[in-house]
Chain A
């Protein structure tokens, strides 16, 4: 059966000023999968993510998300597309003046007309999905980094978006918390069928959650590997990819 692509990237060129960061890459992300973008620091992972969610516009090429070409569309279409995606930012990006529950309720109150007590229950559900029951009344400054990410995740999936984007979900978390977050990502993917696009360089997470990966490279400014991470680790034809996934030091310049 042909799988349905929810994100299609075609010949994307990303630049900052005159510097080309990503040079003409193409790939698809299929519905319901957990897709990981990996690569060393500074190879343009965050830049790619910003292009996928439309914060940056590409120099050339197309980014088609949920059927809309967000690189060449009007404001209206972009906003309808935004309703179908959720983004978890590196540090959660919760609004500091609101409690955890109010943060999660924000998009629900804005975009649905559920009655107040139903919103109340829904927020309770969202927080219990991410394991944060009991922290409804806390302010973001009163909870730990891992909890902030969970709360950010609850807010990102408040409207059950079709696609969730994660920028370095395990950055700054201890191994246990990080593993818990990976498990949460797997669970949400399984229960709600949400497509997940994750940017990371954390090997442990990659092997736990990723169903398919692409690897970016700073030197070639393109994709140097694509496929199942475990297969790539053991059998990739590119020795740099094997070394990266096996966590080996560079022996000699390839």
Chain B
């Protein structure tokens, strides 16, 4: 005999011939089901009954949790030889047991067994997935090009309000972080190089190093990476959410080209503002270098700036700006692509966003290497 935490108890009669009677009393509901299931399993397991009779006469309330207790008790006797019966089942209890189809319950596995498929299946799946990814990418390149062409021919079809908003979000809002990071980068570069250059008395070349490295390489790369993190991810999340909530389909059926509607303003905005951000970043990095030059190397501001201007050619600046325009195109393109590739629910929006940033950064570095190789042979 046992009492559950609160409202349900049972008595057990064992005549010693393998026939067991259990009489439940009180409420059999969610509050005590877990306790009762464990109890009844323990007692019955010890006795291994051949037949089990459960008396529900004094049960005042029974819901599906109560039915679960009965079912777990039933499972304790072996199916083929054992005998299970319920006695004095009240009207309400009878109703719920029949609705639940009590006699047929408990035979099904409702949770999926998560099996990892073998290595060949996974390899094959991976290949197919990447192939379709590639196909999607190529067709998206095409559709973006077509849309851009269309906008070039019909400038009025460009959504100007969206464009301005995108320019603000991608450009203006990024100014503080780009400025800060570039300033600190200039500072660090000047510090590190001054230690080396001072040994040769070549202090003044700190200015050359900082300005050249920033305008040609680091400025465009850093700016593009920040834009990938801030805006590439935002583009992907926005489009992905629109896609899973059928907003993209709605645009399509209203006769809009989703690419032209959603992608073109973002790409154009990025291509306009990212080069400007890069110029901004160059200036701040040079300022960072200047601070170090004046404070630790005793250079005058005049000398530092003169050296900077002597080093930089217009070509260097243009190269940086051109590269950053290409990076902007890549980052915004891949952000939108990942957004359109989304399939499923909330989790896939997260994956699309991550993938937008990772692919964006990868493309930036890849194309930067390509530029380096081309320039090596061209100059």
- Kindly list chain A residues whose C-beta atoms are within 8 Å of the C-beta of B64: 122, 125-126, 129, 160, 192
B141-149, B256-264, B279-287, B344-352 - interface stretch = B344-352
CB closest chain-A residue, reference B61: A193
Whether, in the assembled complex, B375 has its beta carbon less than 8 Å from a beta carbon of chain A, the answer is no
- A36 to chain B minimum Cβ distance, whole angstroms, is 24
In contact, B111 and A115 (Cβ under 8 angstroms): no
CB closest chain-A residue, reference B101: A128
> Which of B30, B63, B96, B108 sits near A124, CB closer than 8 Å?
B108
Known contacts A127-B110, A140-B345: A122-B65 contact under CB 8 Å = yes
> Which of B38, B71, B101, B112 sits near A115, CB closer than 8 Å?
B38
Q: Which of B7-49 contact A (CB under 8 A)?
A: 29-30, 33-34, 37-38, 41
In contact, A112 and B68 (Cβ under 8 angstroms): no
CA–CA, A136 and B107, complex, Å: 13
Q: How large is the interface on B (under 10, 10 to 19, 20 to 34, 35 or more residues)?
A: 20 to 34
> Which of A121, A140, A187, A191 sits near B68, CB closer than 8 Å?
A121
CB closest chain-B residue, reference A114: B34
Q: Which of B75-127 contact A (CB under 8 A)?
A: 92, 95-96, 99-101, 105-106, 108-112
Whether, in the assembled complex, B67 has its beta carbon less than 8 Å from a beta carbon of chain A, the answer is yes
Interface string of A105-136 (1 = CB under 8 A from B): 10000001111001011111111110001001
Q: Which of A186-236 contact B (CB under 8 A)?
A: 187, 191-192
- Kindly list chain A residues whose C-beta atoms are within 8 Å of the C-beta of B316: none
In contact, B67 and A125 (Cβ under 8 angstroms): yes
In contact, A123 and B110 (Cβ under 8 angstroms): yes
In contact, B111 and A141 (Cβ under 8 angstroms): no
Whether, in the assembled complex, B72 has its beta carbon less than 8 Å from a beta carbon of chain A, the answer is yes
CA–CA, A160 and B67, complex, Å: 13
- A61 to chain B minimum Cβ distance, whole angstroms, is 31
Q: Is the interface of A mostly helix, strand, loop or mixed?
A: helix
CB closest chain-A residue, reference B99: A191
- A155 to chain B minimum Cβ distance, whole angstroms, is 13
In contact, B95 and A121 (Cβ under 8 angstroms): no
CB closest chain-A residue, reference B348: A96
CA–CA, A46 and B79, complex, Å: 51
Whether, in the assembled complex, A167 has its beta carbon less than 8 Å from a beta carbon of chain B, the answer is no
In contact, A120 and B111 (Cβ under 8 angstroms): yes
In contact, B33 and A114 (Cβ under 8 angstroms): yes
Interface string of B229-258 (1 = CB under 8 A from A): 000000000000000000000000000000
21 contacts between A and B (CB under 8 A): A96-B347, A101-B111, A101-B112, A105-B110, A114-B34, A115-B41, A118-B68, A120-B109, A120-B111, A121-B105, A121-B106, A122-B65, A124-B106, A124-B108, A125-B64, A125-B67, A129-B64, A136-B110, A140-B345, A160-B65, A191-B92
Known: A118-B34, A128-B100, A159-B30. 12 other contacts (CB 8 A): A97-B345, A99-B111, A101-B112, A105-B110, A112-B30, A121-B71, A121-B105, A123-B110, A123-B111, A125-B67, A136-B111, A160-B63
8 nearest interchain CB pairs?
A: A96-B345, A136-B110, A101-B110, A97-B347, A121-B106, A160-B30, A114-B34, A112-B34
